[in-house]
Amino acid sequence: MSNADLVARARAWAEQDPDPATRGELLALLAQPDLAKTDLADRFAQSLEFGTAGLRGVLGAGPNRMNRAVVLSTTWGLAHELLATFPDATEKGVVIGYDGRRYSREFAVDTALVLAAAGIQAHLFDDVAPTPLTAYAVTRVGAVAGVMVTASHNPPEYNGYKAYWRNGAQIIPPTDERIAARIAKSPAAKDVPRLDMEGARTRGLVTTVPAKVTLDYLDAVRRLAVHEGGDRAFPIVYTPMHGVGDVLARKALANAGFTNVTSVPEQQKPDGAFPTVAFPNPEEKGAMDLSFALATKLGAKLVLANDPDADRLAVALPRPEARGPGVSPGVEPGFVQLTGNQVGVLMGHYLLTERPKAAAHEPLVVATIVSSPMLGAIASALGVHYEETLTGFKWIANLAMEREKEGYAFLFGYEEALGYTVGDVVRDKDGISAAAIVAEMAAVMGSRNKTLLEELEAIYRRYGLFVSSQVNRTRKGASGAAEIAALMDRLRASPPRRVGDKDVLATRDYLTKERRDAHGEKTPLTLPKSNVLTFELAGGSRIIARPSGTEPKVKFYFDVREEMKEGEPLAEAEARANGVMKRLADAFVGIAG
């Protein structure tokens, strides 16, 4: 794009931008003497793409940023798709929730007022709300859709717009494609019809989500409990990571009988600047430091952390001096932060073995293709139906509902990125109900003189030791997106035949929906199309490559399974498995470039 074209596009955008703040931001960039030293070109390199994850991007002016103009056009497209799809759309309406990030409230209000102008009732939360509560509210109030304004665990400069359908699950193809097509036909942002708030409320087109919805959600979470026993007065440290989970998580834990829960004070209140963390994701190094310091001071037996919109959960446990996964003799006491796979395996095993089986329905557990294969191994050993989906809880939720129609009872689903859901309360990942179940597990195991780390080791010894790791490569901007696309194209065109000392037995290409073995024989894959490659290796190991759907990065996943020898210390088995995994990771990263 030439400078003249760039300037023309930027001026045209500024003219149709109804937000004086972002309009002024754009005009200030245009006034710079050297546009090459600004990010103006990136702001207009493309438009944020509306997909199954909705929208997510850096806040700022321009089509490749999150701003009010983009939200207005997006909501216009959503409204017209709802009117065309659901005869009762105007009556049933749309639930709108928002988190504590910058512009979240403004985006939520704009969404409500555009829907109201289209005659669609907007059920707007009167304060910040966690993502799982918003998803729950869609079906609880009988709405035809939901919108959650959040960027989840992305850095502070991001925000997003997540869409739910009337089943309470995130949208899937072709719904996203139909909405995107309507967005492309929307009028200029300044011309998108909006009602004023006073008029919309007077006409009943914007209403507040009833407080009873929150109470009903908490009651539904309480009913997910499997056991009531065990000491529930042990100290727990919790952090919402400057997000919106504190009030609901603490109430859910209190309802479950946990009386000694302390929030990290520096991170307790919603704050879109996230002042104590560089990256508000509990998986990131350093994000849990304040939690561990407080837990050490209080002698906590469990540390729980939600991400900023409370749909994910991180778990950490006191580190014994010489026992537990990843702990060597002589290690100083501290905290072991479990991986998402470890938490998923603990929760899945607990629910499968402790919850009474419904007589009329076969239980179902689901994981994503990038999560550890261990839940599948446990389900197979227990004779329970297990399936895998593409990455993203939209796939888990929609698969669960399909199988429920066939007579299965959906019990549990998880993905390795700290996402879990139990039963049918929320058709998305839910870090609040997961926190209650994990605390319950700790109490129940404690009543049996066992820690959760010891329970995890027992599971390893019974079903095999599974270890997993992930390598990410971040590439920002339009050039970064092109680089990631080229990397995937190379791997697809010339898949490796050998990685390290292991042969590649087959390649699964979820974009072409086929599996090709080392002899060239092809078999079809049934999952929806997705830009994901899986390399099946000799000995049961595997490698997966996929671009992130919400962040500017490509992700490589590595899974290795090792049988534990009789009486073998766990640390030795883990060292052996991790050695295999590191060699695989080093070799594959070299191949991928």
The model's pLDDT over 495-520, given as tens digits with 9 standing for 90+, comes to: 999 998 889 999 999 999 999 998 88
As a whole number of angstroms, the distance between CA 62 and CA 40 comes to 8
Q: Is the pLDDT of residue 366 over 60?
A: yes
Same domain, 91 and 203: yes
Write the DSSP string, 484-509.
Answer: HHHHHHHHHHS--SEETTEEEEEEEE
Q: Is residue 189 part of a domain?
A: yes
As a whole number of angstroms, the distance between CA 205 and CA 489 comes to 48
Same domain, 84 and 48: yes
What is the predicted pLDDT for the residue at 550? 64
- Tokens of residue 374, six digits: 């261990």
In this structure, the strands spanning 385-389 and 408-415 are unpaired
For helices 20-30 and 3-16, the axis angle rounded to 10 degrees is: 160
As a whole number of angstroms, the distance between CA 437 and CA 42 comes to 44
Same domain, 170 and 263: no
Give me the count of residues in the chain: 593
To the nearest whole number, what is the mean pLDDT of the chain? 93
Same domain, 415 and 277: no
Q: What are the C-alpha distances in Å from 569 to residues 1, 337, 563?
A: 61, 20, 12
Q: What are the C-alpha distances in Å from 325 to residues 75, 335, 340?
A: 47, 12, 14
Backbone φ and ψ for 366, nearest 5 degrees, come out as: -135, 140
Q: Is residue 317 part of a domain?
A: yes
CATH classification at residue 478: 3.30.310
Average pLDDT over residues 532-550: 87
More confident residue, 393 or 325: 393
Same domain, 72 and 221: no
Q: Is the pLDDT of residue 331 over 60?
A: no
Q: Is residue 17 part of a domain?
A: no
Q: Is the pLDDT of residue 488 over 50?
A: yes
Cβ atoms 115, 150 nearer than 8 A = no
The residue behind tokens 């010891």 is 454
Same domain, 436 and 497: no
The last residue of a domain, from among 209, 233, 265: 209
Average pLDDT over residues 547-555: 80
Positive or negative torsion for Cα 496, 498, 502, 504: positive
pLDDT tens sequence across 424-457: 999 999 999 999 999 999 999 999 999 999 999 9
The last residue of a domain, from among 286, 310, 338: 338
Q: What is the DSSP letter of 170?
A: B
Q: Give the active site residues.
A: 152
Q: Is residue 358 part of a domain?
A: yes
Strands (E), 61-193: 94-98, 122-124, 145-149, 158-165
pLDDT tens sequence across 468-481: 988 988 887 777 88
Which of 338, 417, 416, 313 is CA-nearest to residue 371? 416
Name the percent of the chain lying above pLDDT 70.
97
Domain assignment of residue 319, given as a range: 217-338
Q: Is residue 571 part of a domain?
A: yes
Same domain, 317 and 329: yes
CB atoms within 10 A of CB 402: 12
What is the predicted pLDDT for the residue at 18? 96
Q: Is the pLDDT of residue 532 over 50?
A: yes
Q: Is the pLDDT of residue 214 over 90?
A: yes
Q: Is the pLDDT of residue 325 over 80?
A: no
pLDDT band at 333 (very low <50, low <70, confident <90, very high): low
Cβ atoms 161, 55 nearer than 8 A = yes
Same domain, 198 and 222: no
More confident residue, 166 or 1: 166
Same domain, 329 and 361: no
Which of 375, 462, 435, 441 is CA-nearest to residue 411? 375
Structurally, how many domains does the chain consist of? 4
Q: Max alpha carbon distance in the chain (Å)? A: 73
Q: Is the pLDDT of residue 385 over 60?
A: yes
Residue 11 belongs to what H/E stretch?
helix 3-16
What is the predicted pLDDT for the residue at 332? 44
Same domain, 457 and 479: no
Q: Is the pLDDT of residue 37 over 70?
A: yes
Q: Is the pLDDT of residue 322 over 50?
A: no
Same domain, 504 and 424: no
Name the percent of the chain lying above pLDDT 90.
82
Same domain, 169 and 255: no
Q: Is residue 447 part of a domain?
A: yes
**What is the CB-side half-sphere exposure of residue 487 using CA atoms within 13 A?**
25
Q: Is residue 203 part of a domain?
A: yes
pLDDT band at 145 (very low <50, low <70, confident <90, very high): very high
Tell me the sheet residues that pair with 467: 560
Helix %, strand %, coil % of the chain (to 5): 40, 20, 40
CB atoms within 10 A of CB 543: 27
What is the predicted pLDDT for the residue at 36? 87
Q: Is the pLDDT of residue 11 over 60?
A: yes
pLDDT tens sequence across 66-104: 999 999 999 999 999 999 999 999 999 999 999 999 999
As a whole number of angstroms, the distance between CA 468 and CA 435 comes to 23
CATH classification at residue 113: 3.40.120.10
Q: Is the pLDDT of residue 216 over 50?
A: yes
Q: Is residue 251 part of a domain?
A: yes
Beta-carbon contacts of residue 547 (< 8 Å; ≥ 6 apart): 484, 485, 488, 531, 553, 554, 555
The last residue of a domain, from among 320, 338, 356: 338
Average pLDDT over residues 349-371: 88
